[in-house]
Amino acid sequence: MAKRDFYEILGVSRSADNKEIKQAYRKLAMKFHPDRNPDDESAEDKFKEASEAYEILSDAQKRSAYDQFGHAGVDGNGGGGGGFGAGGGGSFSDIFGDVFGDIFGGGGRGGRSGRGADLRYTLQLDLEEAVKGTTVKIRIPSHEECGSCEGSGAEPGTRPETCPTCRGMGQVRMQQGFFAVQQTCPTCRGSGSIIKHPCKACNGQGRVEEEKTLSVKVPPGVDTGDRIRLSGEGEPGIQGAPSGDLYVQVAVNDHHLFERDGRNLYCDVPISIVDAALGGELEVPTLNGRVKLKIPPETQSGKLFRLRGKGVAPVRGGPAGDLLCRVNVETPVKLTKKQKDLLRELDSTMNSGDSGEQHGPKKSSWFEGVKSFFEDMKF
């Protein structure tokens, strides 16, 4: 029986690139896999047919031979006369791993990665430093490349040898039916090589523990929770692989005057009962110096005054926020006899006749509310 055209089987054109071929095969493999069609022999045949087509068309050399000579050019390379996986070609497990390895994290062949681990450092900043930006020096523990073995882990004059278990792949495959499970090689632990004569300076690790100083540029406007990434300043990779990154986590200390909420700042400002009653002017602090704040007459405790643009300019851009000053009317303490007498005299003039309602609007409304509350209660 004549074989079908491999391009026709996968449903791709003869000019299709490797990505299109892989996507087409993946779709067919998922559809016709025997485990999904346990009682359908035709599905298994279609699965094997698609796998054979992919094996040939995914290999540049085999594809070229097939394009020139058809099936005759690849007999013995693919399914050939011995059925799928026979002859000198790759097995089904090789193909399945190549196509689906990226899903399971393994990759096709040699999917290991020796990239160094990422590190995190918590940087404590004062509010002024976070708002205005700064440059700080930090010292972090680090594993640097061993100078004796130049990172190889092997004693000078020797070199790591290819792992006999995985033959340098770093991973081994376990075949079970049509599924291939890829695991880290237990002998070399994924490195692909073994060290028979470890370096005495680093005990075969290829790295030594040291401490390094880094300069961190903190941009203006950062806040607690923001991160600064220092590329390549994490743990060094294994045997020449790239280093990880260092993430500097910002934590802003509490301030004795200001409380930050995003781009706005809050500040509690105590004022005397005289300034609250008659009005006045006082100096309040900002992160850029002092400014004048006018207090209008009859100001109540807890009132907010907004100083526009005196807050924080966000690190990601945009206008600066505001400074909101919350005034607290202070009750005088340690009064002299004369001062107490003057207050009693003031109180008597304020509470004479109906004038008390004028001088204490909140007090009056509060007592009215209490009176109404008790009247509505049923005992």
pTM of the model: 0.53
pLDDT in tens, 260-293: 999 999 999 999 999 999 999 999 999 989 999 9
Cα 146–185–27 angle (5° rounding)? 120
Q: Tokens standing for 202?
A: 């680093």
Sheet with 258-261, edge to edge strand ranges: 258-261, 264-272, 323-330, 304-307
pLDDT in tens, 220-236: 999 999 999 999 888 87
User: What Rg value do the Cα atoms of the chain yield, rounded?
Assistant: 39
> Digits of tens for pLDDT over the chain (379 positions)?
567 899 999 999 988 888 888 888 888 888 887 767 777 888 888 888 888 888 889 888 888 888 877 877 776 544 433 333 333 333 343 444 444 443 333 333 333 456 778 889 999 999 999 999 999 999 988 777 787 887 778 888 888 888 888 877 788 877 665 666 778 888 887 777 888 888 888 887 777 777 889 999 999 999 999 999 999 888 877 656 788 899 999 999 999 999 999 999 999 999 999 999 999 999 999 998 999 999 999 899 999 999 999 999 999 888 999 999 999 999 999 999 999 999 898 888 877 655 545 676 676 676 677 677 667 665 5
SS (H, E, C) 139-189: EEEEEEECCCCCCCCECCCCCCEECCCCCCCCEEEEEECCEEEEEECCCCC
- Identify the pLDDT of residue 152: 78
CA 233 to chain centre: 16
Total Cβ atoms within 10 A of residue 207: 20
Torsion sign (Cα): 249, 255, 260, 263:
negative
- Identify the pLDDT of residue 379: 53
Total Cβ atoms within 10 A of residue 157: 7
